[in-house]
Amino acid sequence: MKVKLKIWRQKDSRSKGKFEIYELDNVAPDMSFLEMLDALNQKLIKEGKSPVAFDHDCREGICGSCGIYINGRPHGNDHRTTTCELRLRRFKDGETITIEPWRAAAFPVVKDLVVDRSAFDKIIQAGGYISVNAGAAQDANAIPVPKHNADVAFDTASCIGCGACVAACKNASAMLFVAAKITHLAQFPQGRVEAPERVKRMVAKMDELGFGSCTNTRACEAECPKGISISTIAKLNREFISAKLKD
Amino acid sequence: MMSKLDAKIPDGPLADKWTNHKAKLRLVNPANRRKLDIIVVGTGLAGASAASTLGELGYNVKVFCYQDSPRRAHSVAAQGGINAAKNYKNDNDSVYRLFYDMLKGGDFRAREANVYRAAEVSNLVIDHYTALGVPFARDYGGLIENRSFGGVQVSRTFYAKGQTGQQCLIGAYSALSRQIDKGTVTMYPRREMMDLVVIDGKARGIIARNLVTGEIERHSAHAVVLATGGYGTIYYLSTLALNSNGSAAWRAHKRGALFANPSFVQIHPTSIPVLNDHQCKLTLMSESLRNDGRVWVPKKKGDTRKPNEIPEEERDYYLERRYPAFGNLVPRDVASRAAKERCDAGYGVGPTGLSVYLDFRDAIQKKGRKYIEDSYGNLFEMYEKITGESPYEVPMRIYPAGHYTMGGLWVDYNLMTTIPGLYAIGEANFSDHGANRLGASSLMQTSGDGYFILPYTISDYLADDIRTPKIPTNTPEFDAAEKEVKERIDRLMSINGTETATSFHKRLGKIMWDYCGMVRNEEGLKKALGLLDELKEEFWKNLKVPDTANEMNQELEKANRIADFLELGKLLVYDALNRRESCGAHFREESQTETGEAKRDDQNFAYVAAWEFAGDGNEPILHKEELKFEYVKLQERSYK
């Protein structure tokens, strides 16, 4: 298989970026998308050129490091798939593939396809936790949690923090990310105590960091590699309003 | 020389050792904790749990990770579960049984006292994660579900589908985030530890590289904790994250920390096999799949029929045949070798012949598709994405892959290395898993180390340091370490050869897998020593690193790690050569039973091999820590 790659190149956050075009022969349908970029980089280095920087690590769809805009969609066309899980068998021989970094004011480009997603960490630091000290917990079975709640918590906690939801949103909103966390922690009796404070602080931090608001286009849900539902955003809104009413 | 290895294991009955020891460990008063700096390197379950707990106690903590966020550490990828001795299933589980299973699983090459303590604190770990909001699987009564896991006969494994590692790590990360918010912990993401700084014989800081700007930074502390995970990527293809590396541990080793049992690398039996030459990693399929999946190969050599066309009587369920008592649930090393044995004998399946079937047909028939979906849904999806085949329809193909390293920095009972003030926790140390890791015990050990052990033991050391002011970073030791780091980077940048870091990594991996992998022999190991020397020489002559050192340079990061792996690889080989016995994941061809099982030699090898660095190019010096078994009887592991 052959592919033509149109890739966003940007030296660092202060430089201006531009697209470069590269051609790559001998790629195999079994290869992952990132293995294809590895192959490109090996070629570029041998030619004395600068390899393309991109974030990646576990390469099995769980660490959330990877995230590239592929042909106009975060993580590419496949449903519920991270960039590292995407396979070349999903592309046509000779296809031109456009590859860009996440585009969001709150995620500045660091280099090429690498963006700074530390804003997500700052949102979590603003309350995305249950305050309990190590060694202070009672027996795990002391507080039963209905299976349904545990399942909802699991589904929402499966967010990998990749940022596709933000990249997909025309407002670069972080609502799905925040909503997933709020919903996860709201399922547990342990998490309820701080719930009003948590939602107010996390939403305020999200706004402060330059993420936009939600206009219900559902692009985030469509692009989330872990299939997190926008019903969590409704939950977030309910939690937020109820917290505000208590003020 | 033996004096170097005082394991400081407390006296007294096994079950009381930790309790008694804790009572004697000195404390640091809260007002003094604020004045003490601690560096933690790594933010996986061990690092995040240690950093958050130390922050909670009031120490001034700096924590480092190479990823863009602490949430991405490779603990995130652990799938199957986390053990605890809760006996929630009333199947007669206990701390003692968990301890015993770990020791036996580790083929009696771990320390009794450490393993018992790991089992003892396991229950606290589960309580803490639950309180943090980790969504462990629950039954309809609202209580936590448990399942059984490779190598054991009780249901003690807590799980969150096949994402237990992610869920626990998110819990640990959220606790860490809380401390970062409070200001007790300062987070340094996208930093890589380049060297350890030792002052007056004590660990007092690190040299780090800012991976965005290339800037070399000095960070000082009263104590340094390495929670840097394992070095399984030395095999190139492994189940680890691509950037996992052994560099921090190796630099600490070169600064005087002994490295224990380096050749004990666990080979995981259920990884997706190699599909093509471009492949950069092997994806693990959780061992929990063997609870319901049955492993088989065709009875006929070279049978090319599709698996579903092979009738029942022509299938060889070789694990059930060879190990009737444990069947598909034999420990990892046994399952791995049995798969290799069948493939080597010509019964392997798939295009390369290097895989075996893991079949869910019977479980789907018996328990229903819904049950299988609930238990393993995300694993099945992952498999299908990679291979293009649905495990609901056709059996999975699996093959063993390099996975978890049981070797690591030597630590005493307090988790301190041979450098005072330098601690190693989680996979970065050696003490709890013996020659082979029991399934679902890694999350348990790493978290236990970070939450409930290290925070107590480190205070005993720091109690002497309450009058030591902040460690300055303008000392000759910091100057020298920084200079070495910069010179090394300059050297790597200026070789300007023709081969990339990746190409050296691939060649290194092949040497390691062929001669120091699942099966080893003296001749092969000796050959590997020469090959590694040649490869190292070529690396320093013919490496090509593009761009500059003063920017984000992922190739330079790789080159730095491969340079260390080339040296660490040699240590693995020395260790494997020394150990003329088979045990756990380590199989020496010269030492096997008549039926081809691993044959341990307790007479001569019931010790920890701890290696001292003797200078570049010199043979390392072996120190032996004798393993004393007072509470279990050494016996041949049999899963028949």
- B301 close to B347: Cβ distance less than 8 angstroms: yes
**Interface contact flag, B388 A89, Cβ < 8 Å:** yes
Res B126 pLDDT > 70: yes
- Concerning whether B332 is annotated as a catalytic residue, the answer is yes
For residue A147, list chain B residues with Cβ-Cβ distance below 8 A: 138-140, 142
DSSP β-ladder status, A18-24 and A73-74? unpaired
Q: Is A215 on the interface with B (CB under 8 A)?
A: no
For residue A151, list chain B residues with Cβ-Cβ distance below 8 A: 135
Of B283, B272, B572, B546, nearest to B407 by C-alpha is B572
**Interface contact flag, A45 B77, Cβ < 8 Å:** no
Q: Does the model's ipTM exceed the 0.90 cut?
A: yes
What lies within 8 Å, CB to CB, of B3 at 6+ separation is none
Q: How far is CA B565 from CA B271, B535, B562, in A?
A: 23, 11, 5
- Rounding to the nearest 10 degrees, give the CA dihedral for residues B79, B586, B357, A1: 80
**Interface contact flag, A11 B243, Cβ < 8 Å:** no
> Mutate which of B74, B170, B238, B558 to disrupt the A interface (most A C-beta within 10 Å)?
B170
Q: Residue B398 and residue B258: Cα distance in Å, rounded?
A: 36
Q: How far is CA B27 from CA B20, B204, B455, B613, in A?
A: 15, 20, 10, 33
Residue B553: closest CA among chain A residues belongs to which residue?
A53
For A3-110, the fitting CATH number among 2.170.190.11, 3.10.20.30, 3.40.50.10860, 3.30.420.40 is 3.10.20.30
Q: Is B132 on the interface with A (CB under 8 A)?
A: yes
- pLDDT of B1 reads 42
Average pLDDT over residues B136-142: 96
pLDDT band of residue B2 (cuts 50, 70, 90) is very low
Full-model pTM: 0.96
For residue A153, list chain B residues with Cβ-Cβ distance below 8 A: 133, 135
**Interface contact flag, A60 B161, Cβ < 8 Å:** no
Task: DSSP letter for B142, please.
Answer: S
3-state SS assignment for residue B225:
strand
pLDDT band of residue B546 (cuts 50, 70, 90) is very high
For A117-246, the fitting CATH number among 1.10.1060.10, 1.10.10.60, 1.10.10.10, 3.40.50.1400 is 1.10.1060.10
For residue B506, list chain A residues with Cβ-Cβ distance below 8 A: none
- Name the one residue in this structure whose structure tokens are 């006996």: B87
In which element (H, E) is residue B208 found?
strand B202-210
Q: How many CA atoms lie within 13 A of B335 on its CB side?
A: 36
- pLDDT of A50 reads 97
Res B54 pLDDT > 50: yes
**Interface contact flag, B127 A137, Cβ < 8 Å:** yes
Q: Is A22 on the interface with B (CB under 8 A)?
A: no
Among A99-113, A173-187, B71-85, B268-282, whose mean pLDDT is lowest?
A: B268-282
* Tens-place pLDDT, residues B365-407: 999 999 999 888 888 988 998 888 999 999 999 999 989 999 9
Q: Is A108 on the interface with B (CB under 8 A)?
A: no
Q: How far is CA B393 from CA B283, B311, B369, in A?
A: 20, 16, 11
Q: Is A73 on the interface with B (CB under 8 A)?
A: no
Q: Residue B223 and residue B191: Cα distance in Å, rounded?
A: 18
Tokens representing B455 are 């925070």
- pLDDT of B640 reads 76
- Name the one residue in this structure whose structure tokens are 């007092």: B204
Average pLDDT over residues B539-544: 98
Q: Is B634 on the interface with A (CB under 8 A)?
A: no
- pLDDT of B151 reads 63
Q: What is the mean pLDDT of chain B?
A: 95
* Tens-place pLDDT, residues B501-537: 999 999 999 999 999 999 999 999 999 999 999 999 9
Please write down the HEC assignment for all residues of chain A.
CCEEEEEEECCCCCCCCEEEEEEECCCCCCCEHHHHHHHHHHHHHHCCCCCCCCCCCCCCCCCCCCCCEECCEECCCCCCCCHHHCEHHHCCCCCEEEEECCCCCCCCEEECCEECCHHHHHHHHCCCCCCCCCCCCCCCCCCCCCHHHHHHHHHHHCCCCCCHHHHHCCCCECHHHHHHHHHHHHCCHHHHCCHHHHHHHHHHHHHHCCCECCCCCCHHHHHCCCCCCCHHHHHHHHHHHHHHHHC
Domain ranges of chain A: 3-110, 117-246
- B298 close to B347: Cβ distance less than 8 angstroms: yes
3-state SS assignment for residue B412:
coil
Res B150 pLDDT > 80: no
Q: Residue B446 and residue B81: Cα distance in Å, rounded?
A: 13
* Tens-place pLDDT, residues A172-190: 999 999 999 999 999 999 9
Res A196 pLDDT > 50: yes
Average pLDDT over residues B214-218: 98
Res B3 pLDDT > 70: no
If you count them, how many residues does chain A have?
A: 247
**Interface contact flag, B131 A50, Cβ < 8 Å:** no
- pLDDT of B342 reads 94
Q: Is B638 on the interface with A (CB under 8 A)?
A: no
Of the candidates B117, B332, B600, B637, the residue annotated as catalytic is B332
